[in-house]
């Protein structure tokens, strides 16, 4: 849990996901796991990059502390989004976790080649999906040290 001078800071997570059901599940699981997570959703690859680059109606978008990225997305594929993030000096340090239904070895290897920080597959069972989101929260937002860049403070 992040604090600055004793104040809790909201952790911004960007979820890039086109399935409304998976968005809902992820939102609910984070709400249960960590009330200090501010979950933002981009429903296609182009929207994700616009959010990250603060373009268009995302002019005031915060920089995410963590990105959860689906691979199969409309408009711009997740692999392409990942490549753009990791080639951009301003964005490449943001840990980017692939969260997809694909278990194909080619997708796993390709994602690590494109510098994904880790690769997770979405479980089909509801309780396992919730368990995975809790693991992401426990590991990435509690144990891992993320680069600091936050300015917005909340009590």
The residues binding other proteins (CB under 8 A) are 86, 92-93, 95, 103, 105, 108-109, 112-113, 115, 117-121, 132, 135, 138-140, 143-148
C-alpha–C-alpha distance, residues 112 and 24, integer Å = 27
Nearer Cβ to other proteins, position 55 or 135?
A: 135
- Give bridge partners of residue 37 from the DSSP assignment: 11
Triad 119, 122, 123: Cα angle to 5°: 130
Compute the least distance from the CB of residue 148 to other proteins, in Å.
6
How far from each other are the two terminal CA atoms of the chain, in whole angstroms?
12
Would you say 75 or 86 has its CB closer to other proteins? Answer: 86
Residue located via tokens 């978008």: 61
CA 93 to the chain's CA centroid: 13
Which one, 43 or 137, has the nearer CB to other proteins? 137
Nearer to other proteins, 109 or 126 (CB): 109
Residue 136 Cβ vs other proteins, minimum distance, rounded to whole Å:
8
Closest residue by Cα to residue 12 from 33, 39, 30, 35:
39
- State the nearest-atom distance from the C-beta of 75 to other proteins, in Å: 25
């Amino acid at each position: 849990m992040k604090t600055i001078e004793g104040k809790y800071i909201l952790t911004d997570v960007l979820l890039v996901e086109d399935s409304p059901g998976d968005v809902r599940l992820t939102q609910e699981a984070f709400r249960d796991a960590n009330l200090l997570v501010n979950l933002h959703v981009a429903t296609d690859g182009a929207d994700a990059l616009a959010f990250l680059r603060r373009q268009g109606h995302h002019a005031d978008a915060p920089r995410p502390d963590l990105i959860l990225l689906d691979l199969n997305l409309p408009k711009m594929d997740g692999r392409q989004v990942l490549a753009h993030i990791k080639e951009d000096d301003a964005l490449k340090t943001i840990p980017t976790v692939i969260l997809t239904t694909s278990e194909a070895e080619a997708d796993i290897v390709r994602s690590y080649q494109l510098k994904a920080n880790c690769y997770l597959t979405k479980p089909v069972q509801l309780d396992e999906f919730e368990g995975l989101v809790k693991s992401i929260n426990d590991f990435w937002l509690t144990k891992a040290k993320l680069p600091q860049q936050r300015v917005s403070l909340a009590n």
